[in-house]
Chain A
């Protein structure tokens, strides 16, 4: 379990990718939670029965065809391990992630894109947010970015601090 020496997943440790077709249709939950820990709120929140988990200690497995992209799981994940992914036309991709820092991000904000190690890999634009007050202070932020980055970007930070 190399990922436990590093604190992040390498390419070969990632869960299987959803197909391009699926990613184009609507957003899909992608869960980076490889370690067996006693945790199951995503499984319990899923109304589509898309998350497989036989025992509370099992890592979740998503059936990408069943997932409706409703975002119930990403709202509750205590590990901040769920990302909603989507591909749009024109080489644009979207990643929705949980965000718990000040200042809160707003639609239209430019953000730096960080990979799993915290390295800056580009810039993107916030195109939708679930405000923090609607989800007990965990905001959901959807960020537009180049399509090839959706399996890399796992955190964002504001480009400039708003006054």
Chain B
């Protein structure tokens, strides 16, 4: 239906977004010149140029491509200007940049050893890859060693560090790790009562995943409902800019929490090691996308739903011609609508549950455009050799088993897996927070008080890292964590304490509906006080 113009794989117009492409530059991919625009990541530019194979699998040299686009998977790791294992989805293009795939001979695209995969494929069914040559042990060790020689994680760096290296020590009241919806909200709310705040984010922009949310948000006007996610990111950023006591460090990677001292690396004109002494720490690192087990799920063209949103809504790059969406939660439904807005067709949405997982109104939005939603269906396999050429879906019976004879082929050239998220909790583990597996909130989450403080006093959580919800709840959690951190440091007085209680009540009300039920069940298991210890 929508007629959207594309050029060089890039969207030229969009009903909601405007893509400002900066200076045109050339990067070299395995020696071949590729056109790119400043502000694009290497992975995005390669994708726009039609490159789909980014690496080869460790064993059997299966092609691997783009998946998450936010630096959480490792499928896009390449050698950039002589430095191995660079996540190209987080590395921005520079004129003359030399990018090489680091697995496969001569390169990942035309890897001659891929023949192994083809042979094995012919004689043994899929899955046998991991069972062949595994015993006896000496044989396994021998085969593994040989395989590792042929592929793997790159070669030692050829480049030497040519930049300037700096070091900075910083003392702050509150350190916020992660500049998405939860982190920005925590920084604002701690900062507005006078606490000295440092907000660190790995991206060159603030907003986290809000920057790709083109839809209007739900909630109430107080929660900025009716406003698009992309605008909410800007509104929060402006609020931060008004607070002089909030120091924002972009392109800053926090790598460890050592008691109240935090190590981070900041990229800039001068690359810097930061030693941050913080009285309180708010961890708002978000989540990463889950994948699903099905045949060929590693084929280039099988992407995380959020990865496709990033590619399309942040960089304006067309993910493909026709997609299949796996999962009908809000992410899957919203992505479907966004694909249509960008002029990309969607063949179908499949959902294993007997009913749609997301909001009905989101489903109705895509259903009235004629996109079928198959409930009680699943994907059995992706088709294609080097990239997705189709998919086989099947009905599921009451016991979640595929119904024989109900298989059908869906023509598509990419598949988006929208089956949920898992908290990015590594820093919490490392800091010693007590963690617990709570499936209702997305996996392993920290135990916390009702003010979002973890079992390590002074370390707070906000947003998806505390349990998978959505941006509005993340903003509310950030508010609670931020204010609590500030009040316990003596800022804000009674006014802050009062707002804190209001914020807690506000969030409870927000979760009171049927959609919050599961979240509340999950929270009962991880909020200290209501925690039943076995």
| A147, B18: Cα distance in complex, Å | 38
| A157, B361: Cα distance in complex, Å | 19
Residues of A within 8 A of B16 (CB): 100, 137
- A35 → B minimal CB distance (Å): 4
> Does A7 sit within 8 A of B, measured CB to CB?
yes
B370 touches A114 (CB 8 A): yes
- A144 → B minimal CB distance (Å): 19
In the complex, chain B residues 211-234 whose Cβ is within 8 Å of any chain A Cβ: 215-221, 225-228, 231
Q: Which of B118-126, B351-359, B428-436 contacts A (4 or more CB under 8 A)?
A: B351-359
B354 touches A5 (CB 8 A): yes
> Does B256 sit within 8 A of A, measured CB to CB?
no
Given contacts A8-B363, A102-B3, 9 further A-B contacts (CB under 8 A): A4-B360, A7-B367, A7-B373, A36-B513, A38-B516, A78-B225, A79-B359, A114-B369, A116-B368
Q: A149-163: contact bitstring with B at CB < 8 Å (1 yes, 0 no)?
A: 000001101100100
> Does A69 sit within 8 A of B, measured CB to CB?
no
A37 touches B221 (CB 8 A): no
B2 touches A39 (CB 8 A): no
Interface residues of A, count at CB 8 A:
49
In the complex, chain B residues 193-248 whose Cβ is within 8 Å of any chain A Cβ: 215-221, 225-228, 231
| Interface of B toward A, CB cutoff 8 Å | 1-4, 13-16, 215-221, 225-228, 231, 340-341, 343, 354-356, 359-371, 373, 375, 472, 509-516
A38 touches B219 (CB 8 A): yes
Partner of B367 from A100, A117, A136, A161 at Cβ < 8 Å: A117
B3 touches A79 (CB 8 A): no
Partner of B2 from A56, A101, A118 at Cβ < 8 Å: A101
Give the tally of cross-chain contacts (CB within 8 A): 156
Residues of A within 8 A of B368 (CB): 8, 114-118, 154-155
Given A38-B516, A78-B226, answer yes or no on A5-B356 (Cβ-Cβ < 8 Å): yes
Residues of A within 8 A of B216 (CB): 76-78, 138
A40 touches B219 (CB 8 A): yes
Most chain B beta-carbon neighbours within 10 Å: one of A4, A6, A80 = A4
Q: A interface, by DSSP: helix, strand, loop or mixed?
A: loop
- Chain A residue with the shortest CB-CB distance to B222: A44
Most chain B beta-carbon neighbours within 10 Å: one of A104, A118, A119, A157 = A118
Partner of A32 from B217, B340, B364, B512 at Cβ < 8 Å: B364
- A109 → B minimal CB distance (Å): 13
- Chain B residue with the shortest CB-CB distance to A137: B16
Residues of B within 8 A of A92 (CB): none
Partner of A7 from B231, B341, B364 at Cβ < 8 Å: B364
- Chain A residue with the shortest CB-CB distance to B510: A38
Most chain B beta-carbon neighbours within 10 Å: one of A3, A40, A56, A119 = A56
Residues of B within 8 A of A102 (CB): 2-4, 13-15, 341, 343
- B264 → A minimal CB distance (Å): 35
Residues of B within 8 A of A79 (CB): 218, 359, 361-362, 364-365
> Does A41 sit within 8 A of B, measured CB to CB?
yes
Residues of B within 8 A of A41 (CB): 219-221, 225-226
Most chain A beta-carbon neighbours within 10 Å: one of B13, B215, B360, B513 = B360
- B509 → A minimal CB distance (Å): 6
A116 touches B364 (CB 8 A): yes
